[in-house]
A = this chain, B = another copy of it.
C-alpha cells in the first residue's frame, strides 16, 4: 500500500488537436459520422488536412484533457502517454506540465510522429474527430511509470487506448498495480464506435477491473446493446461501484449501489464547441471524488467543468476553473 501523493493518474493517447471549422457538407464528403471518432493513418491524415480550412492547434487527448482539468482545479494529477521527440510532442509535453500535471513519459526517439486529431467543428458546435494515433498507440507496458500509478487514489484509463494490444496490456497491468496499492480504477468508454470495436472485452474490463465508469448515452447503450438509456443504466448498475452517465443537454445520472442521482447541466454561455465536454465532466467528477465529496457534489463539479469547456474552442479550459467553482459551487 503506497502513500497517496497523487489524486488521479491517467493513461491515454498523447495527442495534439487541430481544430477546424467545417460545415455539414465536409462531414458528408469525407464520409464521417458526426460526433464520433474515426481512426486514420498518416496518409489519410495528410489528405484530409489538405482539404480542410485553417486550423488552431492545441493539446488534446481524452485522458490528458481530464488530467489537465484536474490539475487546473488544484488536484494532484499525473499523466502517462507517448509522444515523439518532435515539435508537436514538445507542445503536448509543455502544455500538460504547464497546468501542473506530473508528466514524465520519455518521448520516443524513433518511429511514428506525435499523434494528431483533426477535429471538424460544425456550426451546431458538434465535433467530429479523425485521429492519427502515431507515436501514441505504441505505448507499451514498459512505458508505464508504475510508481506513479501506485501513488494515485484513482487510476484513470481512456477507452481509446483499447485499439492497441500493447496499450491494452499496459492498461490491465496498471489497473492491477493501482488496486494492489489500495487505489481505484476509473474508465471512460470514449466513443460509441470504440465500444462497438471492443464490446466484449470492455464488458469484461468493467466487470473485472473498474470501480468508476464514465460513459455517454450512446456508449452505454452500445456497451449493453440496450434499447434505451434506462435499460442500459439498469444493466450497468452494480457491475462497478459508480457509473457516471452523461446525456449532453439533459445533464447526467450517477448510479452507485441502488442509488440514482440525476445532475442538472450548467449553461454558462453560448455553445461553441463540444470538444472535451466528456473529458472535463470526468475531471470535475474525479476531483471532487478524490476529496471525498458526495455523489451529487462530484456530478455538479463535473457538470460545471463540462459546461465551461463547451463555451470555447478546444478541449482544455481557457477559463479559471477554480474561480468558476468558487462562483457557482462555493
Contacts and interface: CB of A to CB of B under 8 A. Distances in A.
A58 B314 CA distance: 13
Interface string A312-327: 0110101000000000
A39 interface: no
Contacts of A91: 55, 57
Nearest to A86: B87
Interface in A42-70: 49-50, 52-59, 68
A231 B59 CA distance: 48
A328 interface: no
Most buried by B among A87, A94, A96, A99: A87
Given A49-B94, A94-B49, A54 B87 contact: no
Contacts of A241: none
A217 interface: no
Interface in A95-119: 95-96, 98-99, 113-114
B94 A56 contact: no
Nearest to A113: B87
Contacts of A88: 87
Interface of A: 21, 49-50, 52-59, 68, 86-88, 91, 94-96, 98-99, 113-114, 313-314, 316, 318
Given A86-B87, A87-B86, A56 B55 contact: no
A56 B16 CA distance: 11
A171 to B, nearest CB: 26
Given A86-B87, A113-B87, A318-B21, A56 B56 contact: yes
Given A49-B94, A318-B21, A54 B86 contact: no
A132 to B, nearest CB: 12
Given A87-B88, A318-B21, A58 B57 contact: yes
B94 A55 contact: yes
Given A87-B88, A88-B87, A314 B54 contact: no
Given A57-B57, A86-B87, A87-B113, 11 more contacts: A21-B318, A54-B59, A54-B98, A54-B99, A54-B316, A55-B95, A55-B98, A56-B58, A57-B58, A57-B91, A87-B114
Contact of A53 (B55, B58, B87, B99): B99
Contacts of A314: 56
A57 B50 CA distance: 18
Contacts of A94: 49-50, 54-55
A53 B98 contact: yes
Contacts of A21: 318
A52 B91 CA distance: 12
A319 B280 CA distance: 26
Contacts of A86: 86-87
Nearest to A116: B87
